[in-house]
Structure 1
Amino acid sequence: MSLLVSLRDVTKSVTLPDDSELQILKGVSLDLHEGDRLSVVGRSGGGKSTLLNLLGLLDVPTSGDLEFLGLPARRMSEARRARVRGESVGFVFQQFNLLPERTALENVMTPLYYATGRDFWRRRELALGLLDRVGLSSRAEVKPVRLSGGEQQRVAIARALVRRPRLILADEPTGALDVETGQAVMSLLEEVAAETSAALVTITHDRAVADRSERQLHLNAGVLSGADDDAEDRSPEEGLVTA
């Protein structure tokens, strides 16, 4: 399988109002390949969302090496990172982040306005196809306020997948859903990711969601454990982590 993202000794720090430095990630190393299924668990404030932002090129490391499809992230311009992110990464957020004044169809079409060639001109067709894929073709002209939580999440998933990303990043995708709807959302993400050989990374507090992944890593106080350096030495049972 092709290597999508590689992190080596990555750190991330921010400067606080008193000019002190807060280190959020500490020496993180991780490889993500095409088709990987990975969950990252850990306490709130441990750095999970920061890690997701780095994997998706929303941010760059303070130190260490991060390569996306062989491209060094810290050497990319912001415009180049945005272009690569738009072409290759799909984000699914807990709070959906749908545009309230646009219909479900218009929300799913939004990423395709940055596409080129046939994808741009076929944006309505492609968006309708994804809405049908998530079972919402009959709700295409409905705005988010008239959609249930599960329907809004499925619209968000369709939007994340409409450009057929190579990497899908899901930040607590079931956190605002009931158990049954949450399991259905995860099944849908896994199914569509499998169809396109995309890597799927899920940030979660839910052990049932984490257990669905092939690999589980634990991120606590900025330190990632159970990662690539020792994964080969563990039995399947030893490789599991808990939230």
Structure 2
Amino acid sequence: MSILRLDDVTRSVELPDGDRLTILTGIDLEVEAGDRISIVGRSGSGKSTLLNILGLIDSPTTGMVSFDDADVRGLSSAKRDRLRGRSIGFVFQQFNLLAGRTALENVITPLLYETGPQFWRRRSIATRMLESVGLGQRLDSTPDKLSGGEQQRVAIARALVRRPRLILADEPTGALDLETGHTVMSLLESVADETDAALVTITHDRAIAARSSRHLRLDAGRLTAFETPLVRTAADAL
């Protein structure tokens, strides 16, 4: 059974002059547990729009989006938010950490929406997650005291602390140097492997894309597969 499925999804917006701008056209995509999918595309190809639909933030103009084989289009905003918070984790290029809050406080934040034992044990759960990404000694450090790679590790810990079934990584290495970027991807893949979560990485970096087992290209709003990655290793990208 698929976790997430898009069937003939389109997305368009109305321009001030009354014309419509088509961003996505006929997108079909099925994401299953354990999938490692990369989506590459140039700026303006519709990657951010597709990410918002995959993350249940936006709805398609036409077509169907299903989560656990249930159509999500009819869900209320509150139910959609609960489903997203429980089942989907986001890792962003710019980290989006809370300034002035410690690494531990940043990772605890998603657990404030839990109930029962997960809520009452939120501090220990967040601590273990930070330890798993190698930041057990940086619990009390604020973002301005962390390197770029450390901040991304905090962002990964925050995204995974609720053990989501689907992880969406939006240019997760775009603000990092090459070596740190691949270290972060290895970490992200390793943590995802622990729970058999699906990992969808949206990137312009073909070396990062090559790490996935399924390779997709978004061009002019259309999503197509290619059989082999365009770049096989980080060294090939140099």
The alignment's TM-score, normalised by the length of structure 2, stands at 0.94
Question: What amino acid maps onto 1:119 in structure 2?
Answer: Q
Tell me by how many angstroms 1:242 deviates. Answer: 4.3
Q: Residue by residue, what CA displacement relative to the aligned partner does 1:50-95 show, whole Å, maximum 9, x if unpaired? A: 1111111111111001101222121111111100000000000000
Aligned residue for 2:81? 82
Query: Contact (CA 8 Å) 1:99, 1:107: kept in 2 or not?
Result: yes
| Local SS of the residue matching 2:200 | strand
Aligned residue for 1:219? 218
Alpha-carbon distance in structure 1 between the residues aligned to 2:228 and 2:27:
18
Aligned residue for 2:166? 167
Aligned residue for 1:240? 228
Alpha-carbon distance in structure 2 between the residues aligned to 1:73 and 1:172:
26
Aligned residue for 2:103? 104
Alpha-carbon distance in structure 2 between the residues aligned to 1:188 and 1:58:
26
Query: Contact (CA 8 Å) 1:217, 1:241: kept in 2 or not?
Result: no
Query: Contact (CA 8 Å) 2:210, 2:229: kept in 1 or not?
Result: no
Aligned residue for 1:16? 15
Question: What amino acid maps onto 1:183 in structure 2?
Answer: H
Identity fraction in percent: 63
Query: Which structure 2 residues correspond to residues 133-148 of structure 1 after superposition, within 5 A?
Result: 133-148=132-147
Query: Which structure 2 residues correspond to residues 170-181 of structure 1 after superposition, within 5 A?
Result: 170-181=169-180
Question: What amino acid maps onto 1:206 in structure 2?
Answer: D
The alignment's TM-score, normalised by the length of structure 1, stands at 0.92
In structure 2, the CA distance between the partners of 1:41 and 1:65, relative to structure 1 (3 Å rule), is: same
Alpha-carbon distance in structure 1 between the residues aligned to 2:146 and 2:16:
41
Aligned residue for 1:188? 187
| Local SS of the residue matching 2:109 | helix
Alpha-carbon distance in structure 1 between the residues aligned to 2:173 and 2:52:
19
Query: Which structure 2 residues correspond to residues 191-202 of structure 1 after superposition, within 5 A?
Result: 191-202=190-201
Number of equivalences: 231
Alpha-carbon distance in structure 2 between the residues aligned to 1:20 and 1:70:
34
Q: Which moved more, 1:71-80 or 1:147-156?
A: 71-80
Alpha-carbon distance in structure 1 between the residues aligned to 2:178 and 2:40:
18
Q: Residue by residue, what CA displacement relative to the aligned partner does 1:11-63 show, whole Å, maximum 9, x if unpaired? A: 01122222321111101001000000000001111011111111111111110
Q: Residue by residue, what CA displacement relative to the aligned partner does 1:172-214 show, whole Å, maximum 9, x if unpaired? A: 0001001111011000111111110000000111111111000
Query: Contact (CA 8 Å) 1:218, 1:241: kept in 2 or not?
Result: no
Query: Contact (CA 8 Å) 1:112, 1:123: kept in 2 or not?
Result: yes
| Local SS of the residue matching 2:212 | coil
Alpha-carbon distance in structure 2 between the residues aligned to 1:107 and 1:15:
37
Alpha-carbon distance in structure 2 between the residues aligned to 1:105 and 1:69:
32
Question: What amino acid maps onto 2:56 in structure 1?
Answer: L
Superposed CA RMSD in Å reads: 1.2
Query: Which structure 2 residues correspond to residues 47-62 of structure 1 after superposition, within 5 A?
Result: 47-62=46-61
Q: Which moved more, 1:124-133 or 1:63-72?
A: 63-72
User: After TM superposition, what 4+ stretches of structure 1 lie above 3 angstroms from structure 2?
Assistant: none
Aligned residue for 1:234? none
Aligned residue for 1:127? 126
Aligned residue for 1:233? none
Tell me by how many angstroms 1:241 deviates. Answer: 5.3
Alpha-carbon distance in structure 2 between the residues aligned to 1:22 and 1:126:
45
Aligned residue for 1:232? none
